[in-house]
Amino acid sequence: MKRNLLYWLCRQLICIGSDTFFRGEVVGRDNIPRTGPLLIASNHCSHLDPPLLGSQIPHQIRFFARKTLWKPGFPRWWMDHIECIPVDRDGADVAALKKTIAALEQGDVVILFPEGTRSMDGQLQPAKSGVGMIACKTGVPVLPARIFGSFEAFGRNAKIPTPHPVSYVIGRPLLPADYDDPAAGKQRYQLASERIMASIAALELPARPLL
């Protein structure tokens, strides 16, 4: 397991904030592989999703972040030292794609969101082909995860976060045979993304017993 001191210090601070303001349930933590490269695929409703989901994963995570966050001075130093991957949100970013594939090939763990952007209403959105392409090109296990409550805590139109329980359901890892169909031709990557998204949609919080 990678041991970047700055990353683990930041993660600990996020865990404290999560437990204080957004404490919810975590289901399926035993499904997280202990070693090896891993692509974590989750729904996306809030700016809170990457750090809060990352705080539940016992591995150092490589996150995507907008290139505009690499401002001179401390911001650039911090983004580089926690090993974020810069991405251009305004178009296809080949450099970000190559860095992501390289990270997975060297055994890292990466979180991506098949929907590509935050949901406007908290509901699941159609998957885009990017996650499927990365998964098919690397052949790594894909760990589906679903976040509940982050839209209520800090939805797309909210100005500031609101304390609200945020819960996570982590599914069983998908192997290439589960998401990749090389015979699908031009639809291969989109089909893979849709299969991954379907596995996310299938995750539900366990029903609470009636009192």
pLDDT in tens, 25-34: 999 999 999 9
Q: Give Dmax over CA atoms of the chain in angstroms.
A: 55
CATH topology of domain 5-201: Glycerol-3-phosphate (1)-acyltransferase (3.40.1130)
Burial class (CB in 10 A: 0-12, 13-18, 19+), 186: exposed
d(CA 167, CA 193): 23
Residue 73 — very low, low, confident or very high, per pLDDT cuts 50/70/90? very high
pLDDT in tens, 155-175: 999 999 999 999 999 999 999
Q: Give pTM, 2 decimals.
A: 0.93
pLDDT at 211 over 80: no
Residue 2 — very low, low, confident or very high, per pLDDT cuts 50/70/90? low
**pLDDT at residue 66 in the model:** 84
Which among 110, 141, 155, 89 has a CA at the least distance from the CA of 2?
110
Q: Report the share of the chain in percent with pLDDT over 90.
A: 84
Residue 207 — very low, low, confident or very high, per pLDDT cuts 50/70/90? confident
Residue 3 — very low, low, confident or very high, per pLDDT cuts 50/70/90? confident
pLDDT at 210 over 60: no
